[in-house]
């Protein structure tokens, strides 16, 4: 299967889901973005490393890295390899004395480790084509995104999410475009999942 390299382009707080964040990945040589809803602890772990902050005591992901390095294990790459019912699955491709080992992981944990080991993150073309959200070139040119978006997502009413099953595919696609335009990746991922559910 064809692998697509991804990079982290945004991490923003969800105003609609307490304690949740949207981690936004983008294909390196393209316009598609992959929003993933993650928990607050994992978002903090990713943000701390991206901002080059050093906590007073090692966080869980720092401990994992230190433990792995102590036993001569390194992470070569992370692959987001599956998507089931809106949940992404990832694996760590590790190296131990020249032997390759695959370890299953939650996607948020895998990304938190990827930024610590400075390794590449990939997904498969099939996942990106079904779950990715495409940006127009014009939108991409107008927006500059920092590694961590401190801007809070535009709030969307509860009603707008709850009525997704009751509207047409065309209306869903229009709402998806608007959500992406407003950088509301949490809502965009819910709309994307609803579209995929109907078209699969």
Higher pLDDT, 178 or 145: 178
Give the CA angle between residues 87, 10, 185 to the nearest 5°: 50
In a domain, 124, yes or no: yes
Of residues 169 and 185, more confidence is placed in 169
- Residue 55, domain CATH: 3.10.690.10
Answer whether residue 110 shows pLDDT above 60: yes
Q: Kindly state whether residue 21 falls inside one of the protein's structural domains.
A: yes
- In the predicted model, what is the mean pLDDT of the chain? 83
Query: Residue 4: is its pLDDT beyond 80?
Result: yes
Out of 38-42, 122-126, 143-147, which region has the weakest mean confidence (pLDDT)? 143-147
Q: What is the pLDDT of residue 34?
A: 92
172 domain residue, yes or no:
no
129 belongs to a structural domain: yes
179 in a domain, yes or no? no
Average pLDDT over residues 84-110: 95
Is 44 a member of any domain?
A: yes
With a pLDDT cut of 70, the percent of the chain lying above it is 84
How far does CA 83 lie from the centroid of its chain? 12
Q: Answer whether 25's CB lies under 8 Å from 83's CB.
A: no
Q: How confident is the model at residue 162 (pLDDT cuts 50, 70, 90)?
A: low
pLDDT exceeds 50 at position 144: no
Task: Give the structural domain span for 116.
Answer: 3-151
Give how many domains the chain has, as a whole number.
1
Examine residue 192 and state whether it is found in any structural domain, yes or no: no
Has residue 113 been placed in a domain?
yes
What pLDDT score was predicted for residue 104?
A: 97
DSSP of the chain, one letter per residue?
--EEEEEEEEEEE-SSSTTEEEEEEEETTSSEEEEEEEEHHHHHHHHHHHTT---SS--HHHHHHHHHHHTTEEEEEEEEEEEETTEEEEEEEEEETTEEEEEEEEHHHHHHHHHHHT-EEEEEHHHHHHH-EEPPHHHHHH----SS--SPPPP--HHHHHTGGGS-HHHHHHHHHHHHHTT-HHHHHHHHHHHHHHH-
Order of strands across the sheet that contains 32-39: 99-106, 87-96, 73-84, 120-124, 3-13, 20-27, 32-39, 133-134
Please give the pLDDT value at position 174.
82
């Amino acid at each position: 299967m064809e692998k697509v390299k991804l990079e982290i382009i945004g991490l923003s707080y969800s105003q609609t889901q307490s304690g949740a964040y949207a981690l936004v990945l983008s294909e390196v040589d393209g316009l598609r973005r992959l929003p993933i809803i993650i928990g607050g602890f994992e978002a903090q772990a990713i943000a701390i490393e991206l901002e080059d902050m050093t906590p007073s005591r090692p966080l869980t992901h720092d401990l994992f890295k230190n433990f792995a390095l102590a036993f001569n294990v390194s992470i070569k790459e992370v692959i987001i390899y599956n998507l089931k019912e809106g949940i992404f699955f990832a694996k760590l491709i590790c190296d131990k004395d020249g032997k390759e080992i695959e370890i299953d992981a939650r996607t948020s944990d895998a990304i938190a480790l990827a930024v610590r080991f400075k390794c590449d993150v990939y997904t498969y073309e099939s996942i990106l084509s079904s779950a990715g959200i495409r940006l127009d070139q014009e939108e991409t040119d107008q927006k500059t995104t920092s590694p961590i978006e401190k801007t809070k997502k535009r709030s969307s009413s509860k009603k707008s999410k709850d009525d997704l099953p009751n509207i047409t595919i065309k209306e869903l696609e229009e709402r998806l475009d608007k959500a992406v335009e407003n950088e509301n990746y949490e809502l965009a991922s819910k709309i994307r999942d609803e579209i995929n559910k109907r078209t699969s």
